[in-house]
Amino acid sequence: MYSNIFIISGPSGAGEDSIIEKLSAIMPIERVITTTTRAMREGESQGHPYYFISQEEFQNGINEEKFAEYAQQYNDNFYGVTREELNRAAQTGKTALWKIEYQGVMSVKKILPKIKSIFITVSSLDVLTERLRHRGGATEIHIAERMKYTQEWMKHTDIYDYTVVNEQGKLDEAVEKVRSIIQQGK
């Protein structure tokens, strides 16, 4: 049923959003939109890039089994995708990209083992640290928290079907590798 859905996953700074953005320019892409309890940031809106709801609404969704998968992340906010959202993305007929972190991938693989997952990574943790430093507003504490989470993430790379290294300065090559995986996996 979800043969057009592909998971894109990688730690902060690996470049998943950049890859998705570039793919959108060269092929018809539908994003699977995650629901979160984190606060909306400047430039964001409902449904772009998340559905924003309260902790109470999210908990009600868990209790009512509305989520296909969900996790509480390092920032204590919940992130998850509803069954309704998966069905919406599947019915578009486009390639649907589902961006989730490794805990979500582990959960999804238990209930939907045929969904293909692509791990986006970089050549070293130092590259990730530098990318995070160059993002606006990232404090050293924030970077340290992300890197601690990333180190835990790297222990679980075996859960993915494919790995693409997004090397510094070679984004187009990473995009082409992901496009090729998607075309072969359909």
Please check whether residue 89 is in contact with residue 96, taking contact to mean a CB–CB distance below 8 angstroms.
yes
Q: Which two tokens stand for residue 16?
A: 């998943």
pLDDT, position 186: 64
| CATH code of the domain made up of 5-185 | 3.40.50.300
For the question of whether the overall pTM of this predicted structure is more than 0.75, the answer is yes
DSSP codes joined into one string, 14-38:
S-HHHHHHHHHHHS-EEEEPEEE-S
Axis crossing angle, helix 140-153 with helix 125-134, rounded to the nearest 10:
150
- Residue 181: pLDDT above 70? yes
What mean pLDDT comes out for the span 173-180? 97
Closest by alpha carbon to 108, among 151, 137, 67, 145?
67
Sign (positive or negative) of CA dihedral 154, 44, 67, 179: negative
What mean pLDDT comes out for the span 78-103? 93
pLDDT, position 21: 94
Q: How do residues 149-162 score in pLDDT, each as one tens digit?
A: 888 888 999 999 99
- The mean of the pLDDT values for the chain is 90
- Residue 75: pLDDT above 80? no
pLDDT, position 151: 86
Name the most confidently modeled range: 40-44, 134-138, 143-147. Answer: 40-44
pLDDT, position 136: 66
Please check whether residue 95 is in contact with residue 4, taking contact to mean a CB–CB distance below 8 angstroms.
yes
* Cα separation, 68 vs 150, whole angstroms: 24
Closest by alpha carbon to 31, among 86, 91, 96, 94?
96
At 74, the pLDDT band (50, 70, 90 cuts) reads low
- Residue 185: pLDDT above 80? no
Please check whether residue 97 is in contact with residue 29, taking contact to mean a CB–CB distance below 8 angstroms.
yes
Lowest mean pLDDT among 2-11, 132-141, 168-177: 132-141
Lowest mean pLDDT among 1-5, 77-81, 117-121: 1-5
Q: In the chain, what percentage of residues exceed pLDDT 90?
A: 65
Residues whose CB falls within 8 Å of the CB of residue 49, separated by 6 or more in sequence, listed in order:
31, 33, 34
pLDDT, position 2: 86
Alpha helix segments (H runs only) across 27-112: 55-63, 83-90, 102-111
